[in-house]
Structure formats: C-alpha cells, structure tokens
Amino acid sequence: MLTHIHPLEPLSAGEVRQAVAILQNSGHVNSTTRFVSVSLKEPPKACIYGDIQTDQIDRDAFAVLFDNATNACHEAVVSLKENRLVSWKHIPGVQPTMTADEQVECEQAVLASPEFKAALKRQFGTDDTSLVMVDIWSAGNYGAPEESTRRMARPLCFMRADPTDNGYARPIEGIRPVVDLNEMRVIRVEEYGHWPLPPLPGNYASSRVPEKRPAIKPLEITQPEGPSFQVEGRVVRWQNWSLVVGFNAREGLTLHDIRYNDGGKERSILYRASLTEMVVPYGDPSATQFRKNAFDVGEYGMGMCANSLELGCDCLGLIHYFDADLTTSRGEPLTIKNAICMHEEDYGILWKHTDRRLPETPEVRRSRRLVISSVSTVENYEYGFFWHLYQDGNIQLELKLTGILSLGTLQPGETSKYGAMIAPQLYAPVHQHFFNVRLDFAVDGTNNSVQRVDVVQDEPGPANPHGNAFSAQATTLKTEKEARDHLNLQTARTWKVVNPNVRNALGSPVGYKFLPMDNSFPMAQPSAWWRKRAGFVDYHVWVTPFDETEQFAAGDYPNQSQGGDGLTKWTEQDRPIENTDLVFWYTFGHTHIPRPEDYPVMPTAYIGFLLKPNGFFTMNPANDVPPSPGKAPKGGCCH
C-alpha cells in the first residue's frame, strides 16, 4: 500500500489488476462474465472534511459485472487492503453500459451475418461486407418486451467507397440489423426500403484534401523554466489551487476536493465535479431515424471512449499527462495512455487600468489558466471536456463538440424538413445534445445553501420616479421541488451557492455564483421514450441533499431502461436542502441545426458554464498577481 496516496485518487493499474484478480477468484466470475467497469469506491466524505486520518483509509474498488449467459448484472465491492470480496449484489432487470469489446464484437457479428449479407445483396448487388462499418447503438427502450428482457443493439451501418474512405458519408439507410449482445448474433435484419448510396465522397483526411492552403507559420509555446504547477500522484497544485484529478470508465474526467489557498488557509469549494449523463436525441420521426438517441455516459461510457492525446496536436505547450487505468470486459488491463492533458494557457488580460495622471501606467496583468482536459470519441462524434481554473478564483467547464454528424440518406431529389442537406442525397437530422453535470459543492465546508438570484425591475412610482430602478433578489431554496427550475433571460437568473455559517469581511455568507451559458429546452414531447429515460432534461437546475447513492442524473442503469429513475425520482421526495450537504445539478443543451459547414467534419462547437467567487474573497484575489516582464522594444514592465 502506498501511504501518501490521496484517498480520492483513481485506482492505479496495479489496483485494477488486484481488484480483477480478487473477483476472478471469488467464484462468481466465469467465461461469460464481462467486467463493465472497475473503479475506486470513494471513501466517506469524513475522510476529507472530518476526523478520519487519511493514512487509515482503506482502498476499495467498486465493480459492475455482467453475465451474458444469465443476462444478469452484479455490483461488487472488493477490499484491496484485505485482498477480499466485500460484497456481491445482483441488480435485477438492468442493462449496464455497453463495453468497448462489445462494440467490436457487435460489428464483427453483423459483418458475418448471413441475413445481413443477404439484405446487402438484395439492396446493393454485393454481399461483400469488407467496406461496411457497423456502429453499435443501444436499442434504447420503446416499450417492446424484448427491449426489457434482452441485451440489445440496433447498429447503424455505412458503406465506405474504399478501405480508408469516410464511411459516414454513405449511410446504408434501408437496412437495420438487430443484435442480441448476450448471444452476440444478429437476431433479425429489418428492411425499410431502398435508398441508393449518396454519390459524392465526403472526406476530411489530410490525404484526401489535395488543395490545401499554405502552411501557417509556426507558433511556439515555450516555458523555459517549466510549468507553474506541481503534481504529486494525482494531486495538483497551481496558483493557490489544489485538487485531485480523477477518471473512471463511465464519467471520464472527474475533479475532486477543489480548494483555494487564501492567505495560508486551505478553503474548500467543490468536493466533486463530474459529467453524470448526456443524451443526444434526434428530431426526425421517419422509420429509420426515430430511434436515434444516445446516452453517451450510461450507454457507452465516456471514459471508456477516451482518446490518447498527442502533444502538439491535442495539447500545445508544456504538458503533464495522466493515464487512465481501466479494464477490458474480459478483465485484461486496459491503460489509455495520456487520457488526460494538463497544461497552462495564456488567457489574455486578467485585469487592466490606465490612470492618465500617473507615470507608471497602465497596470496590466496577464491571465494564466490551468486547463485539464480529456476527449472522447463515441463512434461518429467527439466530445472534449475542458476544465479551466483561473487566477481570480473562477472555475469553468467548456465542452467541445466536434467529429462527424450522424447523417441519413435520402432518395435522389428528396429533401427533409427534419434535417439540412449537406451533400447530394445526404442530410443531417436536427438534434440536441443535453449534458448533466453534478457539482458537489463544499463552500468553506459541507453545509451549504443555494440561492436563486433574479434581477427585477421596480415598478414606476414614487420610489422609482426616474424609472431606472432594478435590483437583484436572492431566494434561498428550501426543498428539492422548489429548487427545480429553468434559466430565465428576463431576470438574468443565476444561482449562488453559499455557506450561511461562514461570513465574509462584509458580514455576508461566503459564496460561489453559478453562471449558466448557452442552453436549450428539450424539443421532443414529454411522452417521447427518450425523455422518460432522461428526466434530467425536464429542468436546467436541480438541487438534492447529498446521498452517496445518487451519482447519475438518469439513474445508475439508463441503458435500455424504461425510465423514471434519477433526478426526477429522487427529487419527488422534496427533501430539505437548506444549510445542508447539498449537490447542485445542471442540465445544459445544445440545439444543433446542422449546416453544410459542419461537413465532412464539424468545426468545434462550445458549451459550458462558469463558477465565480461571489463574496468568497474579501476583494479581487488576483490583485496580487505580479506584473509580467514587458516585451516591448523599450523593455520595462506591464505596469
């Protein structure tokens, strides 16, 4: 056992191997068992905020396993210290996240299927599947009995024009194989008609773009004295910040125990921050398209889909990489090298003022931010997760959406109001991307409250004779149901997480403001099947009292679920949330009406949110940032 390991650090490769071995020797695992995930079983919060000494904390692993032979899901806890199985629990009637191995095996099963080959022959005159791509898509749940009793996929298929072509430009619209993932075989092939393949190639690869613009001149980022962060295991310190960088197969990148050293005092802000779920529902009701929705966390595993990042391409500058230590579904070690990138970026002006009467003017400070990022490929789409820490106490999450649109084929000359034409016979259906982030706040301790802040105008009258009056009104939210709410542009609505037990120098509770950015409402009807399973899209903001079993906005097992789990269910209890250990959940949606410029590969789109200290500090905490050496010919400093 390492003695200095932070209790919230993810499992090391050795710990994953040990956990797998304990499970394999437990008598519960056989040749038909898949390891869906093996991750740290996080210790109680008291070990961070309470009296438990960190060197007394056991390292435990939590595993989700699935037996294809019995269609049964089990959760296990193992003690790494005692090298034994602690618990083994059957979770009836659920389908855990599909594994990366199943993606590959499902594709092979379809390509080898005589029924699929026969359909291909009927439609395209060939049964050669060597150019066919098969993307696993969960069957979801539309009320059919098989969707609740079998482990199923309804893959989408594409036909490359040649072995390195972009296959997504040629969707096979009329053929939909249905796969039983337990038997790993095609149980039927559904045919909906014949659509000829789109006639034109659409490729983004460098080798396929013959006429390139002249190369841009080099831009070198150098840090001759090294980075300004320190790393010890997974604990990072930078510019008064400290945090633990976590990772798991389901959520991908997670941040833990975020603190700010304020004049020698380590002040807690967030206990845990993570993406708990996301769903991408499509808006075309046609027979081949209406089933398209993807729960990219609960169905596919955002961490399992993470990329190995490359210096100079994904990340520029002086990089510190962290690996992700996972397991294959058969219990073999799976390490994603460089899954997390951490580096510093210059972020323009931190603050500036010119006083025309003073000789040493202006005063300018450069802003430096710490970027901790990860990128996942979920078949056609890419999602980038970029956490930013700033010198003025801001914390930001920026999501980057790129990759390849999920496309459909139309008949020659046909158009669809449910999508944009992007090439002849090729259209991109309208869709939305909804993300849910779980922010387990601990502003100066665990007991916090949430205020909804609305800016309202005063009525004209004797108290407002000039008509200019408006003010911010804070409402402290008392229960879960009261907290469920939407953004409101009319009142510039924000939320503030405060600690009513800790006052700042001005006598107000210390707090952090939550500032939403781009967002959307769901466009599908509440009766749409995907919405039943994604109740977290019903409100932008949810607040719950902390419960360690409530981790995922759509529940623990959204894959093929019939819905009703997660935030919608929990918050019906209407539990008190005032001055208690609380969790703030934020749902944010990007409504994507595609355009020709999103093809063949999509320029990055951005969405996210910002956390800003609000009465947490006495004054601008970045006032003490020293000036940078000036680079102007006359030399000097930026003051």
d(CA 445, CA 512): 13
Least Cα distance to 108 among 162, 164, 34, 177 occurs for 177
Residues composing the chain? 639
Closer by beta carbon to Ni ion, 123 or else 380: 380
Closer by beta carbon to Ni ion, 513 or else 592: 592
d(CA 537, CA 275): 14
Q: Among 168, 300, 381, 390, which one carries the catalytic annotation? A: 381
d(CA 421, CA 594): 9
- Minimum separation from the CB atom of position 591 to Ni ion (A): 9
Closer by beta carbon to Ni ion, 256 or else 592: 592
User: Using the rule CB under 5 A, is 292 a contact of Ni ion?
Assistant: no
- Minimum separation from the CB atom of position 281 to Ni ion (A): 11
d(CA 497, CA 490): 21
d(CA 238, CA 258): 11
Q: For Ni ion, what does the binding mask look like between residues 38 and 77, x meaning CB under 5 A?
A: ----------------------------------------
Closer by beta carbon to Ni ion, 59 or else 592: 592
296 is catalytic: yes
Phi, psi dihedrals of residue 503, rounded to the nearest 5°: -100, 145
d(CA 461, CA 634): 58
d(CA 611, CA 396): 6
- Minimum separation from the CB atom of position 520 to Ni ion (A): 12
d(CA 455, CA 476): 15
Q: Among 67, 180, 284, 296, which one carries the catalytic annotation? A: 296
d(CA 494, CA 578): 17
Closer by beta carbon to Ni ion, 393 or else 589: 589
Do the Cβ atoms of 16 and 61 come closer than 8 Å?
A: yes
Do the Cβ atoms of 352 and 364 come closer than 8 Å?
A: yes
Phi, psi dihedrals of residue 207, rounded to the nearest 5°: -70, -15
- Minimum separation from the CB atom of position 318 to Ni ion (A): 33
Q: Count of CB atoms within 10 A of residue 162's CB? A: 9
- How many residues touch Ni ion (CB under 5 A)? 1
165 is catalytic: no
- Minimum separation from the CB atom of position 527 to Ni ion (A): 24
- Minimum separation from the CB atom of position 433 to Ni ion (A): 6
- The residue at minimum Cβ distance from Ni ion is 592
d(CA 297, CA 312): 28
Closer by beta carbon to Ni ion, 102 or else 379: 379
Per-residue three-class SS string for 529-592: HHHHHCHHHHCCEEEEECCCCCCCCCCCCCCCCCCCCCHHHHHCCCCECCCEEEEEEEEEEEEE
Least Cα distance to 278 among 245, 263, 300 occurs for 300
Phi, psi dihedrals of residue 240, rounded to the nearest 5°: 75, -10
- Minimum separation from the CB atom of position 592 to Ni ion (A): 3
Closer by beta carbon to Ni ion, 81 or else 595: 595
Closer by beta carbon to Ni ion, 137 or else 557: 137
Q: β-strands 156-159, 132-135: how paired?
A: antiparallel
Interaction with Ni ion in 579-608: which residues (CB under 5 A)?
Answer: 592
- Minimum separation from the CB atom of position 158 to Ni ion (A): 18
Closer by beta carbon to Ni ion, 234 or else 592: 592
Do the Cβ atoms of 498 and 509 come closer than 8 Å?
A: yes
- Minimum separation from the CB atom of position 293 to Ni ion (A): 12
d(CA 340, CA 234): 11
Task: Write the CA distances from 77 to 27, 59, 87, 297, 487, integer angstroms.
Answer: 14, 11, 5, 22, 40
- Minimum separation from the CB atom of position 295 to Ni ion (A): 15
Closer by beta carbon to Ni ion, 496 or else 592: 592
Query: Who contacts 560 (Cβ-Cβ below 8 Å, separation ≥6)?
Result: 95, 138, 139, 140, 141, 147, 148, 151, 152
Task: Write the CA distances from 583 to 61, 246, 452, integer angstroms.
Answer: 23, 18, 15
Do the Cβ atoms of 618 and 262 come closer than 8 Å?
A: no
Query: Who contacts 462 (Cβ-Cβ below 8 Å, separation ≥6)?
Result: none
Interaction with Ni ion in 527-566: which residues (CB under 5 A)?
Answer: none
Closer by beta carbon to Ni ion, 594 or else 613: 594
Supply the residues annotated as catalytic.
296, 381
Q: Which residues bind Ni ion (CB under 5 A)?
A: 592
